[in-house]
Structure 1
Amino acid sequence: MRFLIIIPAHNEEENLPFTLDSLQQQRFKDFKTVIVNDGSTDQTAEVIRKYKETDSRFETVDLEKSTHQPGSKVVHAFKSGLKTRNTDEFDIICKFDADIILPENYLETLEQAFTHNPEYGLVGGLLYVEKEGSWVYEGNSNKHHVRGPLKAYRKECFEQIGGLRETLGWDNIDSILLENLDWKEVVIPELHVKLIKVKGADYTIRPADYYGRYFYFLGLNRLMAYIASSKEAAKAGSVPFFFKIISAYESCKTNKLELKISKEEQKSINDKRWKMLKKKWLKM
């Protein structure tokens, strides 16, 4: 199998070398990498140039700085990189972040998983972050969900779900749509991927406006959005937080902001959420 790896990068001069070094150290060698320099103002372009000069598997695309919109910006950069390659030449399409460190057997293990399991549509490992000198499981999602920084899709699956959507919630939309098409999303827990973060940053804390917009662009109907909002408010231990999330969600609905999913896909997403709710909370 051949891998096409797209890495969006904005001002990643400090982190990107770790990611690219870990790719060069992979035991599996048959891959091409396109690094999308999304309007960086630091030395990211210079970092990329050094790798391009010594390794033909690395290429780059330079973009003007795009407006930051959570979710859409990174997918826009990813798509810009994807357009530069003929996907017919590849079997696996990866969207990796520019601040991860892959174990040397990462691509090798993915290749074996895809080869021996034709039903696998999306495969990845688990993210680990540094805490007090040790690398610990990030815990920002359940262990059955392949996180945004390390997505690897079978090309046929990727095409069937219509690629990635330029919207908040894209990395959950893909999971739901592929499962609806009878593909499997699989996490290989022994694959520990290090995620480089600013020390002290807590990425699990999100403002209410973020959640409200996220639930809207994910396509949740009002009932499912309210249930999801109550869950986040309970985690935060704040009743006002619930009403702030709902206010942001309702604002999106009032303004009829464009969704990047069809009515049929929206229904699939809500049906999936409802089934998960019944299984987890209602024991049905």
Structure 2
Amino acid sequence: MRFLIIIPAHNEENNLSFTLDSLQQQSHKAFKVVVVNDGSTDNTAEVIRKYTQQDFRFETINLQKSEHQPGSKVVHAFKNGLQAQSLNDFDVICKFDADIILSENYLQTIENAFVNNPTYGLVGGLLYVEKDGSWVYEGNSNKHHVRGPMKAYRKECFIQIGGLRETLGWDNIDAILLEHLGWKEVVLPKLHVKLIKVKGADYTIRPADYYGRYFYFLGLNRFLAYIASSKEAMKSKSISFFFDIISAYENCRSKKLELKITKEEQKIVNNQRWTMLKKKWLKM
């Protein structure tokens, strides 16, 4: 299978070479890498040039710096990389981050999963971070969800879900839509991916604002958004956190901020969330 790997990068001079080295060392050689330099002000461009000059499989696109918003910024850069390629030339579409290290068999293992399982639409491994000199499971998400830094989509699935949405929550919207269409999202637990830096470290948005905006742009109705907010408040053991999240959510509603999903897709998202709620909380 032929892989198209798109890597958005902004000021990643200290991390990007680790990612690109791990790709060059892959046992599976049929891939193309497009690094989208999103307005970097450090030496990211020089790092990229080292690879594009010596390996024809590596290309780059240079953008003016896009607005630094969680979710929308990275997908905006990804789309610019995607638009410069012909999907007919590839079988797997990957969105990778510029600060991950892949094992040598990563792409080959992904290919094997797709070839042997025709219903697999999205496949990835598990993220590990360095702690006290050892690499440990990140643990920020359940082990059945492919995290944003290492998405690999079967091309047919990617096209059917309409690609990635330029919005906060894109890496959950994709999973919900593909499941609705009959595809499977699969995490391969033995496939470890090293994450060099902690996600969200560059974001200045307050946690409550983040969750409020996230629930809004995910398309949750008011009832489900309030339930989700209460869950986050219970995690933090803070009643005020609940009201802060709700305030951010309602602020988005009052402004009628544009959603990147259709009315029908909103119904799909809310139905999926309601099903999860009944299963986990109401035991129905």
Q: TM-score normalised by the shorter chain: which range applies?
A: over 0.9
The secondary structure found in structure 2 opposite 1:139 is: coil
Corresponding residue for residue 223 of structure 2: 223
C-alpha distance in 1, partners of 2:117/2:187? Answer: 13
Note the C-alpha offset of 1:202: 11
Note the C-alpha offset of 1:277: 1.1
Q: Which runs of 5+ in 2 are unaligned?
A: none
Note the C-alpha offset of 1:198: 5.6
C-alpha distance in 2, partners of 1:207/1:178? Answer: 28
Matching of residue 33 in structure 1 with residue 23 in structure 2: no
Corresponding residue for residue 282 of structure 1: 282
Corresponding residue for residue 272 of structure 1: 272
Q: 1:147 to 1:249 in 2, by over 3 A?
A: same
1:100-139 alignment, distance < 5 Å: 100-139=100-139
C-alpha distance in 1, partners of 2:179/2:167? Answer: 19
1:29-108 alignment, distance < 5 Å: 29-108=29-108
Note the alpha carbon deviations across 1:71-103, whole angstroms, 9 max, x for none. Answer: 111000000000111010000000000000001
Note the C-alpha offset of 1:206: 5.8
C-alpha distance in 2, partners of 1:13/1:69? Answer: 21
The secondary structure found in structure 2 opposite 1:69 is: coil
User: What amino acid is aligned across from residue 34 of structure 1 in structure 2?
Assistant: V
Matching of residue 17 in structure 1 with residue 17 in structure 2: yes
The secondary structure found in structure 2 opposite 1:104 is: coil
The secondary structure found in structure 2 opposite 1:252 is: helix
User: What amino acid is aligned across from residue 78 of structure 2 in structure 1?
Assistant: F
Matching of residue 262 in structure 1 with residue 248 in structure 2: no
User: What amino acid is aligned across from residue 253 of structure 1 in structure 2?
Assistant: R
User: What amino acid is aligned across from residue 153 of structure 1 in structure 2?
Assistant: Y
Bigger Cα displacement from structure 2, 16-25 vs 64-73? 64-73
Corresponding residue for residue 192 of structure 2: 192
Note the alpha carbon deviations across 1:30-71, whole angstroms, 9 max, x for none. Answer: 000000000000000000000111111100000011111211
Corresponding residue for residue 157 of structure 1: 157
C-alpha distance in 2, partners of 1:238/1:202? Answer: 25
C-alpha distance in 2, partners of 1:229/1:109? Answer: 37
User: What amino acid is aligned across from residue 233 of structure 1 in structure 2?
Assistant: A
The secondary structure found in structure 1 opposite 2:122 is: strand
User: What amino acid is aligned across from residue 210 of structure 1 in structure 2?
Assistant: Y
Report sequence identity in percent.
79
Corresponding residue for residue 2 of structure 2: 2
C-alpha distance in 1, partners of 2:49/2:82? Answer: 19
Runs of 4+ off more than 2 Å: none
Note the C-alpha offset of 1:247: 0.3
TM-score, scaled to structure 2: 0.97
User: What amino acid is aligned across from residue 216 of structure 2 in structure 1?
Assistant: Y
The secondary structure found in structure 2 opposite 1:282 is: coil
User: What amino acid is aligned across from residue 5 of structure 1 in structure 2?
Assistant: I
C-alpha distance in 2, partners of 1:5/1:220? Answer: 31
Corresponding residue for residue 141 of structure 2: 141
Count matched residues: 282
C-alpha distance in 2, partners of 1:211/1:196? Answer: 24
